[in-house]
Chain A
Amino acid sequence: MTQQFQRDKPIYLQVVDTIIQEIVSGIRQSGEKLPSVREYAIEVGVNPNTIQRVYRELDQRQITITKRGQGTFVTEDSRLITQVREELKKQYVDQFVEDMEALGFSKEEIILSLKEGEHDA
């Protein structure tokens, strides 16, 4: 399925975020081989050069390792994946709390409503 992209953010960063989410949530396992650049480009409907850049960026962040002639693999360093997962959690929670506080909610109110939400679900 062709992915829809936000208009005001580079596509390569959006694809990087998607892949990291998939790795952190376990959709893509550690050590797993990612699709080839072209396969992935077709899948999301973007320029292969963009996917090349995505893999470069993931390699730089050490979330993936590209082996010459073999492809790009998710890191087997589970500590790193856990660390990224924690960072993302913190980032999303901080953002959420900030937004809620801007609306005038206290931390207690937020916690209360989260607990209520659990009952609904």
Chain B
Amino acid sequence: MLKVQHISKRRKFRKVLQDCSFVIETGKIIGIIGENGSGKTTLLKVLAGILRANQGTINLENDRSQQISYSPDQSYFYDYFSIEELIEFYQSQYPDFNQERANALIEFFTLNRKEKIKYLSKGQLGRVKIVVTIAREAPFLVLDEPLAGLDPLVKEKIIKGIIQFIDLESQSLIITTHKLLEVEPILDEVIVMKNGTIIEQKQVEQIREETTIQRWLEQLY
């Protein structure tokens, strides 16, 4: 279980996160949504231990690298690596990196292991990010905007890859998006952010019982 309590974060004199609290149970897929600038990426960075919160607590050790497998929205690979070398690099860095799962993912996404990162298309790079992030057996997988800017077929393939390769017995997935409808069928719960704070957390099926996702969002904003 991940327990985030009263997290606040200032940058210079601006508050980018304000009193964010939520709980994520093991085995759940959680979507964090919000407009650009609502604080999603900052929140993930605080979760991943890349930024330090000014206030609040998270029930994880300070070294998050063993507990969270994090994929930023920016590209972050050495572009002279081939996919194969990137996999080896990840394996050397993370004891929980599952080589078998990585290979299965590469096959699933029909990637060429010998291809260099710098020659990959945007869609291929998007898939490589998913491979290295979800090949780890860390309890929390965190993906920042994994579908942004990709074409519909690649999106669908990535979503299927996520469903197939995550082990929900022992892992949870946190995924941010500003297009909720794209990922909504795979979510257990959605967390809504606005102006640096969390304004709602709710089970997706519960929303569907009461109304539609679109109407629910309109009412929140």
Chain A residues within CB distance 8 Å of chain B: 2, 5, 7-12, 38, 41-42, 45-50
Contact = CB atoms under 8 A, between A and B. Distances in A.
Contacts of A5: 185
A13 to B, nearest CB: 9
B172 to A, nearest CB: 11
Nearest to B185: A46
A12 B188 CA distance: 11
A74 to B, nearest CB: 23
Instruction: Classify the secondary structure of B's interface with A.
Output: helix
B28 A45 contact: no
Nearest to B28: A49
A8 B210 CA distance: 7
Interface residues of B, number: 21
Given A38-B164, A48-B163, A49-B28, A8 B212 contact: yes
Interface of B: 27-29, 156, 159-160, 163-164, 168, 185-188, 204-205, 208-209, 211-214
Contact of B163 (A9, A11, A12, A47): A47
Contacts of B186: 45-47
A42 B208 contact: no
Nearest to A2: B156
